Structure 1
Amino acid sequence: MNIHPLRSLLYDELHSRPFQVIPSPARVTHMALLCNEADRQAQHEYLQQLYALFGCPVEQGDRNCYEYDCGTFRMRLEQHTEFTTFTFVNLDIPEGSGPFDVTGLTPLPEGWIEALPGQVVAAFHVSIEDARQGPEPSLPQVKQAFEEMRLVGSSPQDGDARVWASFQLHSDGFGRLMVVNKQMSDSQLGRLTQRLMEIETYRLMALLALPLARTVSPELVKMDARLAELTQQLAGEGEVNERELLADLIEMAASIESWRARSTFRFGATKAYHELVLTRLDALREDEVSGHLTITEFLTRRLTPAVRTCQASSERLEDLSRRVDRVSDMMRTRVELGIQQQNQQLLSSMDRRSRIQLMMQHTVEGLSVVAISYYLIGLLKYLFEALYDAGVPLDKSLAIGISVPVVAFSVWLATRRIHHHFIKLARKDRLRDQ
């Protein structure tokens, strides 16, 4: 068979980020770091040192997801478009320890996580408790584990688990989630934990655009007011300094394009991350815990307005750009009309000048007829005198008098023929150019 070269890649894509299988109890730490290509390479090399320390095989090749099981400690790396996530699962939990006394980072060497390349955006611990054979943690115990912060809780997966979260940073600089397994298998628990980690990660990534939206909003207000002022000047009946107006429009357009270059990717990413959060929330199938907001209710109430603020800033920026383009078109039209008016005035001036030149030409032609006739009559006078001296009987005065009108008419007729000849040549050239 003629196999498409991407066939294997298309099959592998569906399995590139498999759900984890997590037993309970367990302690998980999840981190998301913004990084560039240099940071990705540094992270790969840095992680290889950890693999060697735990006796795991070193990963070779280019993959988007690495996952290693080193007994009671697991490591997982996932590379995304603009960030990398690290998930550490610790199954070695001392008996009697609190939910967050031991974390997924406990088995790591001291100082290793602080030197990890990249900028940390999301970092939180997940405490997975087993309540399949015994009682689940009481509400006071849960509040104590979350340092008495306000809680958000729900019963996802039709009540098979209980999830608690605060969506705040705690004293250790990490966020916290608690998942109480009531009757879920390890595979189901892994999928639920993965969705919760993705919700928290994508939530924070979506909010990265909010400070940018708050920064650009006052600038948009100023530019909007300035554009309205320039439009009013352009629509007014008074004189407009077109050069200054055009300079202001160019400066405003440059500022808008600068903001668009800085914000287009960020605002677009916010929209994509928000849609991912909503998709993961739908998959939770939450039931309400009495007296507490569910995760969906909390995030819908807090996250959606922030995302809409970013979308409004993006749409306003695009609208302002289009309005500047329209005003610029109006300005160019005004300038073109002014140029056409100047050209019309110039053509009218050239037409008047041509008529004056034509009148002067006719005057010069009349004077030329007189001058040429005068010289020709002078020559005829010499001819008549020569003939009279040679004995030819003629009246010199009568002959000269008769020759004056004849010579003048002949010169005028010759001048008119030459004039008409040049007019015909000009007409032929004009028709040929058309």
Structure 2
Amino acid sequence: MNAGFPLPGIALHPLRELLNDEFHARPPVPLRSPTLVSHLVFTHDASTQQEELANLQNLGEVATGELLDRSEAHLVFAAQAFLLRWERHSEFSSYTVFRELTAGEGRNPAASALQVVPAGWLSAIPGQLIAATHVELQASREVSPESVTAGLTPTGRQVVAAQVADQAAWVFTDFMFDSGFSRFLILDVALTQRQAGRTVQRLLEIETYRLLALLALPVAKEIGSWLKAAETQLADMVDQIGQARSPADERQVLAALTGLAAEVEHSLARTAFRFGAARAYHDLVMQRIDELRELRVTGCPTFREMMQRRLLPAMQTCIAMAKRQDDLSDRLARSSELLRTRVDVELERQNQEQLAQMNQRARLQLRLQETVEGLSVVAITYYASQLVHYLAKGFKALLPALSPEIAAAVSIPLVAAFSILGIRRMRRRLRQEAGGDH
């Protein structure tokens, strides 16, 4: 229950407040010209989480300031000379430093916001650096757009330029590393402080997500050669399926198919996240470019054109590799199913042959049983008639007229008839019992 909720007795969802806070999380920092911004992005894993939190805790010890906002994945620290914003994402953490300059201070290419942050604290940040960016926000009255465009040369670096935020600012960059940092220059024509903060945040996200999206390209190149070999191997296995002439050949091909399928599934599991993340990062880059509402500057490509020319081919390569993996997995499944069908058909044929042989043996056993029953009747009749003969000999003293031979001869058909009736009755009872079991 939430004590501040005006309707008593209503059960609130436990994630309601958290979800609403997440919706409003990470608002842009309002900025005014002139300001320097430095942005560092480090990839991390679960092992560096506590180390990262400990280093953030040390910031208050090495720099005088106050904590303006803090959560499990977000922190804003205001020092005397800078403002630090830390954010943790799923696979990276970002550190953004804002340093406000004095009006009329002018441009200094060597200056950056990181100069006022303790160097020892920066070097203790855990993880691996993936993106490093300097942003310079200047008023257009101090640095005119014409002075920047006039310094561009056809033989120099290709500069991306655009008017953004409904022509309220100019943005220049070349996406190249200068002393390890990419650089953006924003000339403020008529930006509000919040517009300036949103523009800076979008540019930093474009640079961050651009590099994170490109993490999938080496993976795509790595599996490209392996996919070619695997596809060739699968084609050879399909030929072997058609050439298989014995169950042993089919089992051998099935074992090879199963092994290749395991390798493909391992590759899919290893690369699925990276390719999926690349698509998501690329979508974010293009979304942030749309939010800039850029207009072309004569003689310079726009941000969208640069991404379509340089980033989109890499993303298409990753998408193509991911699709080839999926197609290879599907083809392996179809080939394995085809081979299993052949094996099942062969097993069914063998089972039918075995059933036919069993039926033939059952008929033979039935005939043998009937023969044995006939011999049993003869044997029973013979031994019974002998018993009658011996009994008649024993009673001859009492009945002199009784001939043992005649008595034995008369008993033969009677004993045979009773034997046949007894065997048939026993067979009928066994059939009834067998029918009752089923």
TM-score computed with the length of structure 1 as normaliser: 0.89
Offset, 1:208? 0.9
Among residues 35, 46, 54, which one is paired with 2:44 in the alignment? 35
Residue 245 (1) aligns with residue 253 (2): yes
Residue 331 (1) aligns with residue 339 (2): yes
Residues 28-427 of structure 1: pairs in structure 2 closer than 5 A: 28-58=37-67, 62-92=71-101, 98-132=107-141, 135-136=144-145, 138-139=147-148, 148-170=156-178, 172-236=179-243, 238-239=245-246, 241-427=249-435
**2:245 and 2:149 mapped to 1: Cα distance?**
75
SS in 2 for 1:379: helix
Comparing 174-183 with 390-399, which one deviates more in the overlay? Answer: 390-399
| Structure 2 CA distance for partners of 1:397 and 1:51, relative to 1, 3 Å | closer
Number of residue pairs matched?
A: 427
In structure 2, the residue matched to 1:8 is 17
Offset, 1:335? 3.2
Does the CA contact (< 8 Å) of 1:31 and 1:87 recur in 2? yes
SS in 2 for 1:370: helix
Offset, 1:402? 4.0
**1:63 and 1:24 mapped to 2: Cα distance?**
31
Offset, 1:59? 7.1
| Structure 2 CA distance for partners of 1:420 and 1:68, relative to 1, 3 Å | closer
Does the CA contact (< 8 Å) of 2:388 and 2:407 recur in 1? no
**2:211 and 2:239 mapped to 1: Cα distance?**
43
Offset, 1:373? 1.6
SS in 2 for 1:122: strand
| Structure 2 CA distance for partners of 1:368 and 1:209, relative to 1, 3 Å | same
Offset, 1:364? 1.4
Does the CA contact (< 8 Å) of 2:55 and 2:121 recur in 1? no
Q: Deviations over 1:80-110 (max 9, x none)?
A: 1211111112224697764421011111233
Provide structure 1 residue ranges, at least 5 long, that are not aligned to the other structure: none
Does the CA contact (< 8 Å) of 2:212 and 2:281 recur in 1? yes
Kindly provide the amino acid, as one letter, of the partner of residue 124 in structure 1. Answer: T
Q: Deviations over 1:153-183 (max 9, x none)?
A: 111123222211111212x111111111222
**1:3 and 1:423 mapped to 2: Cα distance?**
71
**2:114 and 2:297 mapped to 1: Cα distance?**
30
| Structure 2 CA distance for partners of 1:94 and 1:44, relative to 1, 3 Å | farther
Offset, 1:212? 0.7
Q: Deviations over 1:51-72 (max 9, x none)?
A: 3333112578634322233344
Identical pairs, percent: 36
Kindly provide the amino acid, as one letter, of the partner of residue 245 in structure 2. Answer: G
**1:35 and 1:16 mapped to 2: Cα distance?**
21
SS in 2 for 1:158: coil
Does the CA contact (< 8 Å) of 1:24 and 1:130 recur in 2? yes
Kindly provide the amino acid, as one letter, of the partner of residue 300 in structure 1. Answer: Q
Provide structure 2 residue ranges, at least 5 long, that are not aligned to the other structure: 1-6
Offset, 1:238? 3.1
Q: Deviations over 1:253-285 (max 9, x none)?
A: 221221122111111111111111111111111
Offset, 1:302? 1.5
**1:25 and 1:391 mapped to 2: Cα distance?**
149
Q: Deviations over 1:287-337 (max 9, x none)?
A: 111111111111122111211221222222223223323333333333333
**2:177 and 2:163 mapped to 1: Cα distance?**
23
Does the CA contact (< 8 Å) of 1:72 and 1:92 recur in 2? no
| Structure 2 CA distance for partners of 1:174 and 1:421, relative to 1, 3 Å | same
| Structure 2 CA distance for partners of 1:348 and 1:224, relative to 1, 3 Å | same
| Structure 2 CA distance for partners of 1:177 and 1:219, relative to 1, 3 Å | same
TM-score computed with the length of structure 2 as normaliser: 0.88
